[in-house]
Amino acid sequence: MRIGARRLDGIPPTIFTRMSALAVRTGAVNLGQGFPDVDGPPEVIARAVAALEQGHNQYAPGPGVPALRQAVARHQQRHYGIELDPDTQVVVTTGCTEGIAAALLGLVDPGDEVVVLEPYYDSYTAMIQFAGGVRRPVTLRSPDFRLDADDLRAAVTPRTRLILLNSPHNPTGTVLGQDELAAVAAVAREHDLVVVTDEVYEHLTYDGHQHVPIATLPGMAERTLTLSSAGKSYSFTGWKVGWATGPAELVGALLAAKQWLTFTSGAPLQPAVAAALDEHPDFPHQLGASLRRRRDQLCAGLAEAGLPPYLPEGTYFALTDVAGLGWHSSLDFCLALPDRAGVVAVPAEVFYDDPDSPGAGRTLVRWAFCKEGPVIEEGLRRLREADLTA
Ligand SMILES: Cc1ncc(COP(=O)(O)O)c(C=O)c1O
């Protein structure tokens, strides 16, 4: 008897589940999955508790509660000068993850090609496949992980439907600069493509690198669907409250798919996230400052442990290459690491179509620094004391 549908063929369980389960089973320090170990503002949690007690316990409207849609519109205005109609140009999603799913299901037909940055966040590949799309990866190659405009142009064909962007980029930490964004915008305009852009790390950038939404470039507002969420910006990854913004037609296509996925979710959490955006606008910036210190702590410690990192410009991840320690596969390294050192990290090789192509990441390992300083220190101590060679 055939059990799984063909649309699941070749899609492995998400690596994050696998590595976090390994961390729990072995008692290892989890520097793998990207969730913080300190929650967001207590006042925002109090708002969620109040919403629960005050009867926000039934279905929220499908597009999201008006207070949150309005707060998202104000957020985009305040940070980027983007003007949005909260009634037609903002939809609340169940985390950015549902935004990705609904965007791809709502916009991609079977056989359509989707140009996607590689290494990719693994839900992109799963959802492109669910939609019947064909992925066309453009590799951000080591050592500098920049977007090559020629590679981008070469990936576009007459079948291309959309470009799926992610900046600040997980797992490389690249924050796309003006030139790179301009190249994407030029290709999108020239080929009349939609851009779907995952900006969940929009506020987590370092050393003067600024996140610029591609929707702000000339001619892009009308063809860009922007996705984000409260998970990373406010350290509420478990709440799964996200949003999609853009022109009414694109937001409408996403909503048309989203209504059949969850219809709606998080009724008591939505007003709390609205309060977070409106009343704690500086929180993400402060989080970013604290993350920069932890980035430096992690990166200095990794270098000491014989794992020199690529310094990320944004996100809360750093990559190291374990080839120098004699490894031929980051997966082998990460599977051995809990026993060798009592630490869990994420193998980046699973985020490539061909991890052995030039500049790709067969031996790249991703480390998360969204953990408390003492946790990072303990992980580093264990790495320093372990034999990490192959
Ligand atoms: C690039 C990227 N997009 C989306 C998500 C998921 O966002 P959410 O938790 O809001 O669904 C993550 C989480 O790690 C991510 O790294």
What is the average per-residue pLDDT within 42-67? Answer: 97
* Segment 232-252, tens digit of pLDDT: 999 999 999 999 999 999 999
Q: Which residues contact 159 (CB under 8 A, 6 or more apart)?
A: 111, 112, 113, 134
Tell me how far apart the alpha carbons of residues 171 and 160 are, in angstroms, rounded to a whole number. Answer: 24
Any idea of the CA torsion for 195, 196, 201, 204, to the nearest 10 degrees?
A: 20
Q: What is the pLDDT of residues 143-202, one digit of tens each?
A: 999 999 999 999 999 999 999 999 999 999 999 999 999 999 999 999 999 999 999 999
**Average pLDDT for residues 292-315, to the nearest whole number?**
97
356 pLDDT band, cuts 50/70/90, is: very high
Strands (DSSP E) contained in 287-354 are: 309-310, 317-321, 343-344, 346-347
> In ligand 1, which atom is closest to the CA atom of 34?
14
Indicate the pLDDT class of residue 16, thresholds 50, 70 and 90: confident
Residues 15-34, buried b or exposed e (16+ Cβ, 10 A)?
beebbbebbeeeebbbbbbb
Q: How far apart are CA 4 and CA 104, in angstroms?
A: 21
Residue 315 pLDDT exceeds 90: yes
Q: Given the CA of residue 99, which atom of ligand 1 is nearest to it?
A: 11
Residue to substitute in 16, 20, 35, 96 for testing ligand 1 pocket (most ligand atoms within 8 angstroms of CB): 96
- Check whether 18 has a pLDDT greater than 90: no
Structure confidence at residue 219 (pLDDT): 96
Task: Verify whether ligand 1 is closer than 6 Å to residue 171 (CB atom).
Answer: no
| 117 within ligand 1 shell (Cβ under 6 A) | no
Cα-to-centroid distance, 170 and ligand 1 (Å): 9
Secondary structure class of 335 (helix, strand, coil):
helix
Pairwise CA distance, residues 288 & 297, whole Å:
14
Ligand 1 pocket: which of 15, 92, 100, 170 to mutate (most atoms within 8 A of CB): 170
The pLDDT, as a whole number, for residue 19 is 86
pLDDT at 307: 96
Q: Please check the confidence at residue 334 and state whether its pLDDT lies above 90.
A: yes
- Residues 22-38 have a mean pLDDT of 89
Sort 190 into a burial class: Cβ within 10 Å, 0-12 / 13-18 / 19+. Answer: exposed
Q: Is the CB of 199 under 6 A from ligand 1?
A: no
